[in-house]
Amino acid sequence: MDWYPLFNSLRIAAISTVAVFFLGIAAAHYIAKLPRLAKGVLDVVLTLPLVLPPTVVGWLLLVLLGPKRPVGAWAQSTFGIKLVMTWWSAIFATVVVAFPLMYRTARGAFESFDQNLADAGRTLGRSNTWVFWRVQMPVCRQGILAGTVLAFARALGEYGATSMIAGYTPGRTATISTTVYQLWRTNDDAGALRWVLVNVAISAVFLLAVNLLETRQRQARKGGVR
């Protein structure tokens, strides 16, 4: 059994999750403080990939990153690299489709944060950066953690946009989702089932680990209160 699709899917999901973690937190932290009108407009723009069909997202990325398109042509002429039909092309797709999940959960956590805690830190002479990382982030960690899990799961299971921008080449761009589709097309139901079970097992283990972590955190807080 060729394990390349598993390795490729995990590295794409991991890289994408790291990217959307910081991008989503930065966007959520900034937009949560904006006026309602500006917040509403930006919220629609940043959340749009969540409701668009994955094939539409893939087509838009091809229009932007294709070798004869503005960004793609510039990258190829300047750096000699193609932005599509490589394994890392899938990262563009997974970042776009996973970002709204991280952004919305993080924004909800930031909006429910008690600003009095931040003000208390500032009165003690702490900087805004210190207050953000040492006060706000720990208080909002449940929402941040939920967004991270959802982003990883979405990136791991992405198919539509990934297949359009990265294609399917065994040993080069294949992921679990594209491999399942190709095996199904060739009537290899046993092979497709194996990869489905691998994907389910990874997702289940990851979610169970996160649930265990949340349980321990709640127990630790209850112990601190006592």
Mean pLDDT on 46-57: 90
Q: What is the pTM of this model?
A: 0.85
Q: What pLDDT score does 60 carry?
A: 92
- Does the structure show a pLDDT above 80 at 55? yes
For residue 98, pLDDT over 70 is answered with yes
User: What's the CATH code, domain 4-225?
Assistant: 1.10.3720.10
Cα separation, 108 vs 147, in Å, equals 10
Residue 187: predicted pLDDT: 92
Closest CA relative to residue 59, chosen from 160, 176, 171, 168: 160
**Of residues 178, 202, 146, 215, the one with CA closest to residue 10:** 202
The pLDDT value given to residue 222: 65
* pLDDT mean across residues, the chain: 86
Q: pLDDT tens digit string along 182-214?
A: 999 999 999 999 999 998 898 888 788 777 766
**pLDDT tens digits for range 131-167:** 888 888 888 888 888 888 889 988 998 998 999 999 8
CB 109 within 8 A of CB 34: no
Write out the E strands in 93-195.
none
Given a cut of 60, whether residue 226 has pLDDT beyond it is no
CA dist 99 and 61 (Å) reads 15
